[in-house]
Chains A and B, each alone.
Chain A
Amino acid sequence: MLALLLLFVAQTMLLNRFTVFGVYPLLLPIAVAAVGSFEGSAAGAGFGIAAGLLCDAAFYNTDGFYTAVFMLTGLLSGVVAEYVLNPGFLSCALCSLGALAGIDLVRGLYYIMAKDAPVRAVLAVAGPEILYSLFWLVPVYLLVRSVYRRVGGTRLA
């Protein structure tokens, strides 16, 4: 949970001061995917709910969106790690990519349909956001892995 708070502070209070290609990174979906990958679907979903609640509390006009998406991310990451790929970096990377793409797909569709945003404008935000967030994949993965190895993870399972 300390790692979650650390990543939350980094994402919402530090990294949001410096944009790269005009965007900020999302660290928490990667952390949720990593927890799911290491500890299984139940712990992943639990960690996802905690991370999602934090994001929904911090961001304006999200209405539980992050809680739902992060819970699903944790759940699916666990399933992927249990049945499809071995737990580790590859499954975490694929689940992070899936989570980031899913988040931006939902948000993009909302802006296209509700706000008449052109697809190219949505892609101009979503593309850099996914790439820049994945840039943080290794440090976030290593942080979660070190927590898992030291204290046995979140112990939510």
Chain B
Amino acid sequence: MKNFFKNRGISLVFLAVVIVVIMAASSALMGGRANVISNVVGVVTLPAQKALTGFAGWVGSIYSYTYEYDALKAENESLKKQIAEMEDSVRQAQYDKEENERLRELLKLSQQHRDFDFESATIVSRSSSNWTASITLSKGSSQDVKAGDSVVTETGVLVGVIVEVGTNWSTAVTVTDPDTELGALIFRTGEAAIAEGDFELMSSGKLKLTYLPEDVRLLNGDLIVTSGRGGVLPSGLIIGTVDEVKTDISGLTDYAVITPSVSADSLTQVFIIKSFDIVE
């Protein structure tokens, strides 16, 4: 090898100078494009470079997998925890938002009925019997809740009436319970009737409107509200809408089937009206 360079050193230097001159000249002439030699070298080495890059990437991933696995696992656990916390926050925010909406609606109702004294309550359980329709609420005599108080939604829809009160709980029968009997008004005509629970209709979540005035013409969707007569319940609480008119088993009198405007099954929070002004 030493002799090779000694014998042909000048030739090699000359060859190198020629190559450099050709490359410099072609670079100057090609105007930014790769010269022939560079191009040939690039074309030939590209697949090898690609293969090398791929190999390096694979080695890198193995390295990462080997040496960073524990760190990634810990990070994954931490992220999972963060996601769970964030999901919890979102759920809480959703709950707060819904509660906020209910309270805003309640505010409107409070402004319409400044005489109402509300107590917010949560429904803690529903009927445990197939023969009644009742709910248990989270407020009782400690909060001045009394038997006979009405239970409404934030929009003033009647859910039921308190029938039993404990220290920190109370039971309300819903409007569909067979024991429920309410003074009612047909909102469109202003005529009075009685809204009462019916055992047969209870299973379908409906109730009856009885003692209908003579010659009354009920329309499908007529709104039924509490009359407030007798001072037991406030007036104007929404009970439901007329579904259909039927004739009772004796064939002598008609009654209307009412669909309540709210089902207790769909509620979590209600409001107890503890006191109100009696308007006769």
Return chain A residues, CB-CB under 8 Å to B128.
11-12, 16, 24, 58-59
**Contacting residue for B134 out of A24, A60, A121, CB 8 A:** A60
| B55 contacts the other chain (CB 8 A) | no
Which B residues are within 8 Å of any A CB, using their own CB? 125-132, 134, 163-164, 171, 173, 178-179, 198-200, 203, 249
State the CA gap A17–B131 with chains docked (Å).
15
Residues of A within 8 A of B125 (CB): 12-13, 16
By a beta-carbon cutoff of 8 Å, the part of chain A in contact with chain B is: 11-13, 16-17, 22-24, 58-61, 107, 111, 115, 117-118, 121-122, 124-125, 129
**Residue contact B126 to A118, C-beta cutoff 8 Å:** no
Contact across chains for A61 and B163 when beta carbons are under 8 A apart: yes
Q: State which of B127, B164, B173, B249 has its C-beta within 8 Å of the C-beta of A118.
A: B249
Contacting residues, chain A, for B203 (C-beta < 8 A): 22, 121, 124-125
Q: Is the beta-carbon distance between A115 and B199 smaller than 8 angstroms?
A: yes
Beta-carbon nearest neighbor of B200 in chain A: A121
Residue contact B178 to A125, C-beta cutoff 8 Å: no
CB pairs A–B below 8 angstroms (14 shown):
A13-B125, A17-B126, A22-B203, A23-B130, A24-B129, A59-B132, A60-B132, A60-B134, A60-B164, A61-B132, A61-B179, A115-B198, A117-B199, A124-B203
Task: Tell me the interface secondary structure of chain B in the complex.
Answer: loop
Which single residue of chain B is at the shortest CB-CB distance from A110? Answer: B131
Interface of A is mostly: helix
**CB distance B132 to A16 under 8 Å?**
no
Residues of A within 8 A of B249 (CB): 118
Q: Once bound together, how far apart are the Cα atoms of A48 and B97, in whole Å?
A: 47
When C-beta atoms are compared, the residue in chain A nearest to B199 turns out to be A117
Q: Shortest beta-carbon distance, A14 to chain B, in Å? A: 10
CB <8 Å contact, A107 and B131: yes
CA of A122 to CA of B128, assembled, Å: 17
Name B135's closest neighbour in chain A (CB-CB): A60
How distant is the Cα of A13 from the Cα of B125 in the complex, in angstroms?
Answer: 7
- Whole-angstrom CA separation of A110 from B171 in the bound complex: 21
Pick the 4 closest A-B CB pairs, nearest first.
Answer: A117-B199, A121-B200, A12-B128, A16-B128
Contact of A122 among B173, B179, B199 (CB under 8 A): B199
CA distance A118 to B249 in the complex (A): 9
CB distance from B162 to the nearest CB of A (A): 11
In the complex, how many angstroms separate the beta carbon of B116 from the nearest chain A beta carbon?
25
**A117-B198, A117-B199 are known contacts; what are 10 more A-B pairs with Cβ within 8 Å?**
A12-B125, A16-B127, A17-B126, A23-B130, A60-B132, A60-B163, A111-B178, A111-B199, A121-B199, A125-B203
Does A115 lie within 8 Å of B163, measured CB to CB? no
Which residues of B have CB within 8 Å of A16? 125-128
| Chain B residue nearest to A11 in the complex (CB) | B128
Q: How far is the CB of A65 from chain B (nearest CB, A)?
A: 11
Contact of A111 among B131, B164, B173 (CB under 8 A): B131
